Amino acid sequence: MLSTKFSPMSKEEVDRKWWEIGDFFRRNSLWMLMYCTGCCAIELPPAMTSAYDMERLGMGPMATPRQADVLLVTGYLSLKTLRRLIYTYEQMSEPKYVVGFGSCTINGGIYHDSHAVINQLNKYVPVDVFVAGCMPNTESVMNGFIDLMDLIKNKKANGWKDYHERNDWYKANQKAALGEVKIHDEFHE
Amino acid sequence: MTNSMSNTEFVTNLVENQYKVLKTEVLDQYQIAFEVKKEDVHSILSLLKTSGWIQLSYLSAVDWIKDNEFEVVYIVFNWDKAVHIQIRTRLDRESASINSVLPIYPGCKYYEREAHEFFGIKFPGNPDYEKQLILENWDDIPPLRKDFDPRQYSDKKFSHMEYKNDFVNKDGKVSKQEAREKRFSDADKLRTGGKK
Amino acid sequence: MKEMKLFLGPQHPGMSGNASVHMYVDGDIIKRSYLLPGMLHRGFEKGMERHLWVNNISLIPRVCVVEPDTNEMAFAMAVEMIAKLEVPERAHYIRMIILEFARLSIHLMSYGGLGGPTGLYTLMYHAHTDRNTILNIFEKITGHRVYHQYIVPGGVRKDLPVGIEKDMHSFLDDLESRYEEYRDLGINNLSIQARIRDTIMLPKEVVWELGVTGIGMRSAVNKPYDLRKVKPYARYDQIEFDVPVSDYSDAYARVDCKLQEVLQSISIIRQCLIKMPKGDVRVPISKGQAMRWTVPKGYAYACVESSRGEFGYFMVSDGGTHPYRVGVRGASYPQGLLGVEKYLPGTRLDDASLWIDTMGVCSPEIDR
Interface of C with B in 122-161 (CB under 8 A): none
pLDDT of residue B49: 85
Separation between Cα atoms, residue B20 and residue C244, nearest integer Å:
42
Q: Which residues of A touch B154 (CB under 8 A)?
A: 108, 112-115, 119
Q: Which residues of C touch B55 (CB under 8 A)?
A: 208, 211, 213
Are residues C109 and A45, on separate chains, in Cβ contact within 8 Å?
yes
Taking alpha carbons only, the member of C362, B132, B116 closest to residue A183 is B132
C-alpha gyration radius of chain C: 20
Q: Is C309 left (phi over 0), alpha (psi -120 to 50) or beta?
A: left
Q: Which residues of C touch A88 (CB under 8 A)?
A: 11
Q: Which residues of A touch B117 (CB under 8 A)?
A: none
Q: Is the pTM of this model over 0.95?
A: no
Q: Which residues of A touch B151 (CB under 8 A)?
A: 113
Q: CA C60: distance to chain centroid?
A: 14
Confidence bin at B5 (pLDDT 50/70/90) = low
| B153–A contact, CB cutoff 8 A | yes
Separation between Cα atoms, residue C250 and residue C271, nearest integer Å:
32
CB proximity list for B141: less than 8 A, separation 6 or greater: B120, B147, B148
Per-residue pLDDT tens over the stretch A137-164: 888 888 888 888 888 888 888 888 888 8
Provide the ipTM: 0.85
Nearest CA in chain A to C147: A135
pLDDT of residue A187: 64
Cis peptide before C10 (omega within 30 of 0): yes
Are residues B60 and C230, on separate chains, in Cβ contact within 8 Å?
no
Nearest CA in chain A to B156: A177
User: Is residue C302 within a helix (H) or strand (E), and if so which, with residue range?
Assistant: strand C298-306
Per-residue pLDDT tens over the stretch A31-78: 888 777 777 888 888 888 888 888 888 888 888 888 888 888 888 888
| C-alpha pair distances (Å), A21 with each of A27, B71, B79, C122, C177 | 10, 66, 66, 34, 49
For chain A, the residues whose C-beta falls within 8 A of a C-beta of chain C are 33-39, 41-43, 45-46, 48-51, 61, 63, 65, 76, 78, 80-81, 84, 88, 110-111, 113-117, 134-135, 137-138, 185-187
Shortest CA gap A7–chain B (Å): 47
Q: Which of A95-99, B19-23, B80-84, C93-97 is least confident?
A: B19-23
The pLDDT mean for chain B works out to 80
Confidence bin at A1 (pLDDT 50/70/90) = low
Chain C touching partners, 3 or more CB pairs below 8 A: A, B
Let me know: does B12 contact B35? Beta carbons within 8 Å: no
Are residues B137 and A184, on separate chains, in Cβ contact within 8 Å?
yes
| C229–B contact, CB cutoff 8 A | no
Confidence bin at B2 (pLDDT 50/70/90) = very low
Total number of domains in chain C: 1
Average pLDDT over residues B74-88: 86
Chain B touching partners, 3 or more CB pairs below 8 A: A, C
Q: Which residues of C touch B57 (CB under 8 A)?
A: 211, 301, 303, 310, 312, 329
Domains of chain A: 24-188 (3.40.50.12280)
Which CATH number do you get for residue C23?
A: 1.10.645.10
pLDDT of residue A186: 65
| pLDDT higher than threshold 80 for residue B12 | no
Please give the residue range of the domain that contains residue C46. Answer: 4-367
Q: CA A141: distance to chain centroid?
A: 13
Q: Which residues of A touch B143 (CB under 8 A)?
A: 115-116
Q: Domain segments of chain B: what residues? A: 7-163
Separation between Cα atoms, residue C43 and residue C338, nearest integer Å:
22
Taking alpha carbons only, the member of C361, C364, C306, C365 closest to residue C336 is C361
| A123–B contact, CB cutoff 8 A | yes
Shortest CA gap B151–chain A (Å): 5
| pLDDT higher than threshold 50 for residue B1 | no
Are residues B107 and C338, on separate chains, in Cβ contact within 8 Å?
yes
* Cβ-based burial of C53 (10 A; exposed 0-12, middle 13-18, buried ≥19): buried
**CATH superfamily label, B7-163:** NADH:ubiquinone oxidoreductase Nqo5 subunit (3.30.460.80)
Shortest CA gap C325–chain B (Å): 7
Shortest CA gap B178–chain A (Å): 26
Segments of chain C scoring below 50 in pLDDT: none
| pLDDT higher than threshold 70 for residue B87 | yes
* Long-range contact set of residues B92-99: C-beta below 8 Å, sequence gap at least 24: B92/B68, B93/B63, B93/B65, B93/B68, B93/B69, B94/B68, B96/B70, B96/B120, B96/B121, B96/B122, B97/B121, B97/B122, B97/B123, B97/B124, B98/B38, B98/B41, B98/B72, B98/B122, B98/B123, B99/B42, B99/B123, B99/B124, B99/B125
The string of DSSP letters for chain A reads ---SS--PPPHHHHHHHHHHHHHHHHHHSEEEE----SGGGGGHHHHHSTTT-GGGGTEEEESSGGG-SEEEEES--BHHHHHHHHHHHHHSPSS-EEEEEHHHHHH-GGGTT-SSB-S-GGGTS--SEEE-SSSPPHHHHHHHHHHHHHHHHTT---HHHHHHHTHHHHHHHHHHHHS-SS--SGGG-
